[in-house]
Amino acid sequence: MEIFLDCLPCVLRQVLEASRMATDSQNIQEKIMEESIEILRDYKYYKNSPEMVKNMHQVVKNLTDLSDPYKKIKKRDIKFAKKIEPFLEHYLELKQNELYYALKISATGNIIDSAIYSNINSKKDIETEVGKDFSICDINVFQEKLKTAKNILILGDNAGETVFDRVLIKHLSVYEITYAVRNEPIINDATLEDAIESGLDKYATIISSGCGAPGVVLNQCNEEFLSIFNNADIVISKGQGNFEGLSDCQRPIFFLLKAKCNMIARKLNVTLNDYVFKYQRLELK
Amino acid sequence: MEIFLDCLPCVLRQVLEASRMATDSQNIQEKIMEESIEILRDYKYYKNSPEMVKNMHQVVKNLTDLSDPYKKIKKRDIKFAKKIEPFLEHYLELKQNELYYALKISATGNIIDSAIYSNINSKKDIETEVGKDFSICDINVFQEKLKTAKNILILGDNAGETVFDRVLIKHLSVYEITYAVRNEPIINDATLEDAIESGLDKYATIISSGCGAPGVVLNQCNEEFLSIFNNADIVISKGQGNFEGLSDCQRPIFFLLKAKCNMIARKLNVTLNDYVFKYQRLELK
């Protein structure tokens, strides 16, 4: 997805938040903002927002000497999600259309995003969100694909959301599941360590995409990932960052996310905060 | 007031909104954003936000060839405020402490700000807001000053808000009132034309400050204004922009505003969205 003009102030706001997460030094925060503005000047050279955002957050890491500024936040979010997990499991058991709700639980996990929602922190919030229906739901196509599929690749998003994904993966455990995470810490996105801490290794093979952007950018991914990505029977892409990186991709993908910003909502032709499970199959140009 | 790091993404967001108000051309909007980012790079050279914001909105004017991109918005807001005016007058009549509520009505006018609140558009919103008390209210100092004062200078802020100021000025009509507006159109701030359209000329002498920034920046003001400013018995400064320009000023000022952003709220030691009528008398350094 192209970078919209609206993304420019938004990414700058996010990097300021990250700088404060990483350091108390006003001086370093200023330097981070100044270097981020330099990156912003070149926004047209980036194909999508995750590419640009990666470079901004690299500035945070470089200037603070912290490899993982969101480490505490991620641990907190995983802990919170684990506490919610029994409720989610129970919620799913009570439903007739289990697949729909397993997908919906995974999509709901997308609200565990400190970069956007800082006030989602109670079981009640989750209950409310999980009860909201998808506004786009290509579950019929998905069920059709499942009939012949053997393996599924899931592209992970935020730490904490990983635990919600575990509920979906458990439900799909008759398939061979691969779960791809970021190659290195970036904002609050899940890394290998976060995925293991979320207990995903019990039901899936966890791999790194090779890419350290907050969204899969294919030309930054490693060969192992690309081979799995290109050959997977089904690919489920979680969250906005992966959508931004892959919305122009020509392999068929199911995007599973909450539209948390107006630009993504517009691109998907839904309303802000809608939940989406959308099958994308672009025509070869 | 110094420019906070939080102001950087915020002013960039505002200039994008202004660019869309001024033109439908995506190409020109992009150029406006690019030139604004260039201005943002130099944020440290500006003493306060209004100085920087003025230059950004000058870009909007230059690249769109529009001298007053918010003209329609301002006309709409003045029209809306005029429709509310009889309610405000009646509201005031019912009150015992008329001076307090005249000030409160003027402060409430500060929510007529398309740059920040796009959804304040009903009499009901105004009723709710006007009923909220000041969190800081130096009305005692003000009453004391009024005892010996002959003239009052009011520094205007947004178009529409001007009509609310008219209610206050009418109440203070035993004094000689001067109402200062921006020298040229900037965002939705009131100009001479807007002040006259709001009917302020009936109760006050309207002058230009000589400054075209969205907040009084003294070294950009003309001599006539500076003379009145320095010699006025009482100065009432409306809104955030004027506060940002004058918070370090050494002449005594009453700041009358709603704290519409976290930075201003922090600076005034109040909560976001609080109403403030604060007397400032800085010690000479």
Is some CB atom of chain A closer than 8 A to the CB atom of B149?
no
Is some CB atom of chain A closer than 8 A to the CB atom of B8?
yes
Phi, psi of B90 (to 5 degrees): -65, -40
Whether residues B8 and A29 touch (CB distance < 8 A) is answered with no
Give residue B283's pLDDT: 73
- Sort out which chain A residues have CB atoms less than 8 A from B28's CB and list them: none
CA nearest A226: which of A173, A155, A141? A155
Whether residues B8 and A37 touch (CB distance < 8 A) is answered with yes
Give residue B117's pLDDT: 52
Residues of chain B predicted below pLDDT 70? 114-121, 284-285
Whether residues B37 and A40 touch (CB distance < 8 A) is answered with yes
Report d(CA B111, CA A266) in Å as an integer: 29
- Sort out which chain A residues have CB atoms less than 8 A from B13's CB and list them: 6, 9-10
- Sort out which chain A residues have CB atoms less than 8 A from B9's CB and list them: 9-10, 12-13, 16
Nearest to A9 among B5, B13, B29 (CB): B13
Strand ranges of the sheet holding B253-258, from the earlier edge strand across to the other edge: B134-137, B275-280, B253-258, B234-238, B151-155, B176-181, B205-208
| CATH number of this structure's domain A7-64 | 1.10.8
Mutate to test the interface with B, among A3, A5, A30, A263 (most CBs of B within 10 A): A5
- Sort out which chain A residues have CB atoms less than 8 A from B30's CB and list them: 5
A226: Cα within 13 Å, side-chain hemisphere: 10
Q: Where are the domains of chain B?
A: 7-64, 71-280
- Sort out which chain A residues have CB atoms less than 8 A from B29's CB and list them: 5
Give residue B258's pLDDT: 96
Give residue B120's pLDDT: 55
ipTM, 2 dp: 0.88
Q: Which CATH class is domain B71-280?
A: alpha beta
Asked if A104 contacts A130 with a C-beta cutoff of 8 angstroms, the reply is yes
Strand A253-258 and strand A275-280: the pairing is antiparallel
* Residues ≥6 apart with Cβ < 8 Å to B81: B109, B112, B160, B161, B162, B163, B164, B198
Q: Which of residues 12-31 of B touch A (CB under 8 A)?
A: 12-13, 16, 29-30
Whether residues B5 and A41 touch (CB distance < 8 A) is answered with no
Is some CB atom of chain B closer than 8 A to the CB atom of A42?
no
Is some CB atom of chain A closer than 8 A to the CB atom of B167?
no
Give residue A123's pLDDT: 81
CA B48 to chain centre: 15
Is some CB atom of chain B closer than 8 A to the CB atom of A37?
yes
Whether residues B33 and A6 touch (CB distance < 8 A) is answered with no
Whether residues A37 and B34 touch (CB distance < 8 A) is answered with no
Report d(CA B84, CA B90) in Å as an integer: 10
For A37, name the nearest residue in chain B, comparing CA atoms only: B41
Please report the sign of the dihedral spanned by the C-alpha atoms of residue A217, residue A219, residue A225, residue A227.
positive
- Sort out which chain A residues have CB atoms less than 8 A from B34's CB and list them: 41
Report d(CA A227, CA A151) in Å as an integer: 13
Asked if A251 contacts A245 with a C-beta cutoff of 8 angstroms, the reply is no
Phi, psi of A153 (to 5 degrees): -105, 125
Q: How far is A42 from chain B (nearest CA, A)?
A: 9
- Sort out which chain B residues have CB atoms less than 8 A from A6's CB and list them: 13, 16
Token code pair at residue B149: 């004062």
- Sort out which chain B residues have CB atoms less than 8 A from A41's CB and list them: 34, 37-38, 41
Q: How far is A24 from chain B (nearest CA, A)?
A: 13
Nearest to A12 among B9, B30, B34 (CB): B9
* Residues ≥6 apart with Cβ < 8 Å to A204: A154, A169, A177, A178, A179
Mutate to test the interface with B, among A23, A40, A63 (most CBs of B within 10 A): A40
Report d(CA A157, CA A209) in Å as an integer: 12
Is some CB atom of chain A closer than 8 A to the CB atom of B98?
no
Give residue A135's pLDDT: 97
Give residue B216's pLDDT: 97
Cβ contacts from A onto B, under 8 A: 44
Can you give the pLDDT of all 285 residues of chain A as single tens digits? 999 999 999 999 999 999 999 999 999 999 999 999 999 999 999 999 999 999 999 999 999 999 999 999 999 999 999 999 999 999 999 999 999 999 999 999 998 875 555 555 678 888 999 999 999 999 999 999 999 999 999 999 999 999 999 999 999 999 999 999 999 999 999 999 999 999 999 999 999 999 999 999 999 999 999 999 999 999 999 999 999 999 999 999 999 999 999 999 999 999 999 999 999 998 765
Is some CB atom of chain A closer than 8 A to the CB atom of B33?
yes
Nearest to B5 among A6, A8, A16 (CB): A16
Report d(CA A126, CA A109) in Å as an integer: 8
